[in-house]
Structure 1
Amino acid sequence: MTLTYDDLLATITDPGGREILDPATGDLVGRAPFRSVETLDEAITRAKAAQPAWAGRTDDQRKEMLLAAADAIDAAAEPLAELLSREQGKPLNGPNARFEVGACTNWLRATAETDLPDLTLIDDGETHAELHYRPLGVVGAIGPWNWPMMITVWQIAPALRMGNTTVVKPSEYTPLSVLALAHVLNTALPQDVLTVVAGDGELGARLAGHPDIAKLMFTGSTRTGQAIIKSSADTVKRLTLELGGNDAGIVLPDVDPKAIAQDLFWGAFINTGQTCAALKRLYVHTDVYDDVCSALTDVTSAMPMGRGLDENNVLGPLQNKAQYDIVSRLVDAARDSGARILTGGDPDSEGPGYFYPATLVADIDSDNPLVVEEQFGPALPIIRVESIDEAVELANALDVGLGSSVWSADADAARAVAARIQAGTVWINSHGGVHPMIPFGGVKMSGYGLEFGVEGLKSVSAPQVING
């Protein structure tokens, strides 16, 4: 039987729950069952009780169940994408809702097929030592509202793969998407191996401090990450923190502006700019500055924005009013400072929804708030630089370092610049692309710990050396 959108929504909503509204229209999407701290504690207790049996399954059995869970998502892909579009706002097409649901299955399959074998460290006839990776127990996950389904899978797939059970607290802005995802996944998983408990921020604080949560994975703001570190201290909890980005891009003078304009656009405006590792400040060498601005303006002004369920749109609204206000404030401040608005910057205040047009801001000072604060929306400042040394200095000047990019016709020159940038990932002639086998994580105030691939499996495991 095919799962319909209405069927999916009916399984996760609560008539007395919190109203969740469509950020494009203001219409009711559904009512989320917001739970108490006591309910969360009960879920952790059940997850702890279920963990030994889950860990006791063979590695091949856990792989098979993750692959079955991926198949279940594929079978429910369209209703999941529709719910995601309605709740988060992102369009169905482009690198958006259908793309995100597809990424969930890709990550599940890649994680299931990644091995972390035991390692013989030394065996010289006198000493024999082996390194093994054991389950931690119960892994907690706190996800964001920008990519709620995909990032939840990033968190839970490796944890489940390594024999942990998981308890997820989704963002209060997008709980329905994660509840629906878990409902589908749980058709292929044993009971209490994966539990989602929706609620307010107090649930996140409880996860961070709960003594039975062995590891916490968090994606979100640096400020919340700092609070999690403090809350986790008493239990010496392991953490993976993927925090704020404000990623820099550097354009060298040898580029063909028209050739890179489309990739620059998507680097900055994927998910309407609501991505931690999106391009958020662009430093362009003066020799190509005007041409880059012109080419990027042509691409940006042609991209359709509107309600996500319209198949023609590739940009949607900001997910919530608070984020809309941040973007509006920063663009207005840039305009007031004398910066030049190339396109956008003029939202329609009369229409419904949190739509802010894709905005390019040129001739802006490097210390302008739009540059130094993470706007997390569809507004890109373009800063003129006189030299590559100046660009590198400005890129490294902030206290964040999630991702960055270098744009050049000369790959060797680009790599030489990349090596000087303080960021967890530096892309060459692209920005923000991730792969399930390539480790991903930040430096400085952008957090610590690695996700994806073998390193991601290690991060949700306890290394044990057997010596003798």
Structure 2
Amino acid sequence: MWIDGAAIGAKETREVHDPANGELIGLAPVGTATDVDRAVSAAMRAQADWGSQPDEVRAETCRKLAGVITQNSGELARLLTREQGKPLKGIGSEFELSGCAAWLGATAEMSLPVKVIQDDEAARVEQHYVPVGVVGSITPWNWPLLIAIWHIAPAIRAGNAVVIKPSPYTTLSTLRMVELLARELPDGLLSVVADGPGVGEAMTTHPDIDKIMFTGSTATGKKIMAAAAPTLKKLTLEMGGNDAGIVLPDVDAKAVAEGIFWGAFLNNGQTCAALKRLYVHDDVYDEVCAALTELANAVPMGEGLDENNVLGPVQNAMQFEKVSRLAAAAPEEGGRVLTGGSARGRTGFFFPITLIADAKEGMACVDEEQFGPLLPIIRFTDVDDAIRQANSLDVDLAASVWTKDIDQGREIAERLVAGTIYVNKHGEVAPHIPFGGARYSSMGVEFGIEGLAACANIKIYNFAKA
């Protein structure tokens, strides 16, 4: 671990294994609530000075951190591939590290200037943004380094200190990245405490952590919200998404297939805003199914360090078992397996891309967020009913409409419930575009000026003139 400017060991460790082949990668420390206390105390001391630094100093620091990521991306990418399973090349670990550097660089160029609300003969009223204080970051295993930066960059840029707890499934790569970044910062400004008994609870209930940023499941987000309530922490929660796509009858199936495919299977489907329910009009249903099947059968899957592979394993046993369960239940519930459907007889958590045709609402693979390489395809004839079905669940990060008629796409987009509605693409995020969900999928917003402002408090100066 890295706490208060120093490497900190632990009394206990646990083994970390490569999800592609089961090989032992290394040992991760097991953190404790005492480690959290130490990290938070250091963060409070460091933040007192950091919060008073000029805006340009904080901006230049984010630029410097982007350089640190770039300089060490080779080491971090290989460690990430071994630990998380995603391929090194393509839209894999190297892509994730380039995103980390890009996000830090983009955040450096954002600012929260003073806003003059009133300036007349009676008064001058100014709105300032001031740091929240200490931010606790809790990150997941699917994009562990990028999501850590999504938390760290705006928090540091806005003048806060950060204590981060990585997922127990992807501890090693996060520990190493945070160490590299923290060495360039004042001691205590950025610390990382590995998961262990009581660590999550210690963070969410700690009286001196002022804000929690969390990315993960809705169920865990609810627990964090309840735990944080007694200390009235500010919260940014990005949670589950069972995101729908609607394909209208005017599309060219082959033209849209690749966008739909990667909208669903980027990072092996282990992405919060991935396309997870596909509603296709009867007129083009068979053509879309055929085009997606052809793509699925052509994508090489295997160990991530082999540069020929485009997809890797499911990251952990729990998620592998969930995808296996949903795939096995689909034929029993009336679904038709187009490709995949069961795990191959090989070492590691490999599950083939699985397309389920003739899926219907009420099936487990439709109603549950799969978070893996499985996509149910639902036939419709009435677009109003497709919209109803798309809106029928309560975890809505994103949705998409696929059509040649942009006006009709906009009309349908206005009726869909989600934080982001895409037309003729799905899942794209960018540092300058605010991102958040609807209903049970999120609380608050990330990215853009709005995400930066979420890491600050508003302070008003009201000067009387008369």
In the alignment, does 2:5 pair up with 1:26?
A: no
Equivalent residue number for residue 5 of structure 1: none
Structure 1 residue corresponding to 2:264, chosen from 246, 268, 282: 268
Q: How does 1:317-356 map to 2 (within 5 A)?
A: 317-349=313-345, 351-356=346-351
Q: Deviations over 1:113-132 (max 9, x none)?
A: 11111101111322321111
Whether contact under 8 Å (1:343, 1:359) holds in the other structure is yes
Structure-2 separation of matches of 1:138 and 1:114:
20
Whether contact under 8 Å (2:400, 2:424) holds in the other structure is yes
- Secondary structure at the aligned position of 1:128 is classed as strand
Structure-2 separation of matches of 1:416 and 1:206:
46
Following TM superposition, by how much is the alpha carbon of 1:395 offset from its aligned partner in structure 2, in angstroms?
0.5
**For residues 72 and 392 of structure 1, do their structure 2 counterparts lie closer, same or farther at Cα, with a shift above 3 Å needed?**
same
Q: How does 1:362-381 map to 2 (within 5 A)?
A: 362-381=357-376
Q: How does 1:206-355 map to 2 (within 5 A)?
A: 206-349=202-345, 351-355=346-350
TM-score relative to the length of structure 2:
0.96
List structure 1 runs of 4+ shifted beyond 6 angstroms: 11-15
Whether contact under 8 Å (2:324, 2:342) holds in the other structure is no
Q: Deviations over 1:2-52 (max 9, x none)?
A: xxxxxxxxx898796211100001001111111111111111011011111
Structure-1 separation of matches of 2:9 and 2:89:
26
- Secondary structure at the aligned position of 1:380 is classed as strand
**For residues 13 and 359 of structure 1, do their structure 2 counterparts lie closer, same or farther at Cα, with a shift above 3 Å needed?**
farther
Following TM superposition, by how much is the alpha carbon of 1:400 offset from its aligned partner in structure 2, in angstroms?
1.1
Structure 2 residue corresponding to 1:455, chosen from 450, 454, 458: 450
Whether contact under 8 Å (2:327, 2:342) holds in the other structure is no
| AA of the residue aligned to 2:446 | E
- Secondary structure at the aligned position of 2:283 is classed as coil
Structure 1 residue corresponding to 2:440, chosen from 442, 445, 448: 445
In the alignment, does 2:404 pair up with 1:409?
A: yes
Equivalent residue number for residue 132 of structure 2: 136
Equivalent residue number for residue 156 of structure 1: 152
Structure 1 residue corresponding to 2:113, chosen from 105, 109, 117: 117
| AA of the residue aligned to 1:265 | F
Structure-2 separation of matches of 1:213 and 1:137:
7
Following TM superposition, by how much is the alpha carbon of 1:53 offset from its aligned partner in structure 2, in angstroms?
1.0
Structure-2 separation of matches of 1:198 and 1:346:
34
Structure-2 separation of matches of 1:30 and 1:338:
44
Structure-2 separation of matches of 1:265 and 1:159:
34
Structure 1 residue corresponding to 2:428, chosen from 421, 424, 433: 433
Structure-2 separation of matches of 1:345 and 1:71:
43
Following TM superposition, by how much is the alpha carbon of 1:59 offset from its aligned partner in structure 2, in angstroms?
1.0
TM-score relative to the length of structure 1:
0.96
Structure-1 separation of matches of 2:25 and 2:69:
21
Structure-1 separation of matches of 2:177 and 2:422:
30
Structure-2 separation of matches of 1:16 and 1:244:
32
Q: Deviations over 1:407-443 (max 9, x none)?
A: 1112121111111111001111111110000000111
In the alignment, does 2:388 pair up with 1:393?
A: yes
Following TM superposition, by how much is the alpha carbon of 1:460 offset from its aligned partner in structure 2, in angstroms?
0.6
For structure 2, the residue ranges without an aligned partner over 5 or more in a row are 1-6
Following TM superposition, by how much is the alpha carbon of 1:204 offset from its aligned partner in structure 2, in angstroms?
1.4
**For residues 133 and 339 of structure 1, do their structure 2 counterparts lie closer, same or farther at Cα, with a shift above 3 Å needed?**
same
Structure-2 separation of matches of 1:144 and 1:54:
27
Equivalent residue number for residue 194 of structure 2: 198
Q: In the comparison of the two structures, how many residue pairs are matched?
A: 457
Equivalent residue number for residue 67 of structure 2: 71
**For residues 408 and 31 of structure 1, do their structure 2 counterparts lie closer, same or farther at Cα, with a shift above 3 Å needed?**
same
Whether contact under 8 Å (2:42, 2:187) holds in the other structure is no
Structure-1 separation of matches of 2:75 and 2:410:
42
- Secondary structure at the aligned position of 1:419 is classed as helix
In the alignment, does 2:415 pair up with 1:420?
A: yes
Equivalent residue number for residue 6 of structure 1: none
Q: Deviations over 1:345-395 (max 9, x none)?
A: 13123x210000001000112221100000100000000011211111000
- Secondary structure at the aligned position of 2:37 is classed as helix
Structure-2 separation of matches of 1:260 and 1:371:
21
- Secondary structure at the aligned position of 1:284 is classed as strand
Following TM superposition, by how much is the alpha carbon of 1:147 offset from its aligned partner in structure 2, in angstroms?
0.5
Whether contact under 8 Å (2:10, 2:31) holds in the other structure is no
Structure 2 residue corresponding to 1:106, chosen from 102, 107, 114: 102
- Secondary structure at the aligned position of 1:451 is classed as coil
Equivalent residue number for residue 3 of structure 1: none
Whether contact under 8 Å (1:14, 1:31) holds in the other structure is no
Equivalent residue number for residue 4 of structure 1: none
For structure 1, the residue ranges without an aligned partner over 5 or more in a row are 1-10
**For residues 12 and 252 of structure 1, do their structure 2 counterparts lie closer, same or farther at Cα, with a shift above 3 Å needed?**
farther
In the alignment, does 2:77 pair up with 1:47?
A: no
Whether contact under 8 Å (2:31, 2:197) holds in the other structure is no
- Secondary structure at the aligned position of 1:67 is classed as helix
Whether contact under 8 Å (1:13, 1:30) holds in the other structure is no
Structure-2 separation of matches of 1:299 and 1:73:
33
Q: Deviations over 1:50-85 (max 9, x none)?
A: 111111221111111111111011011111000000
Whether contact under 8 Å (1:13, 1:32) holds in the other structure is no
Whether contact under 8 Å (1:16, 1:33) holds in the other structure is yes
- Secondary structure at the aligned position of 1:423 is classed as coil
| AA of the residue aligned to 1:354 | F
Structure-1 separation of matches of 2:410 and 2:219:
32
Following TM superposition, by how much is the alpha carbon of 1:205 offset from its aligned partner in structure 2, in angstroms?
1.6
RMSD: 1.3
Whether contact under 8 Å (1:111, 1:157) holds in the other structure is yes
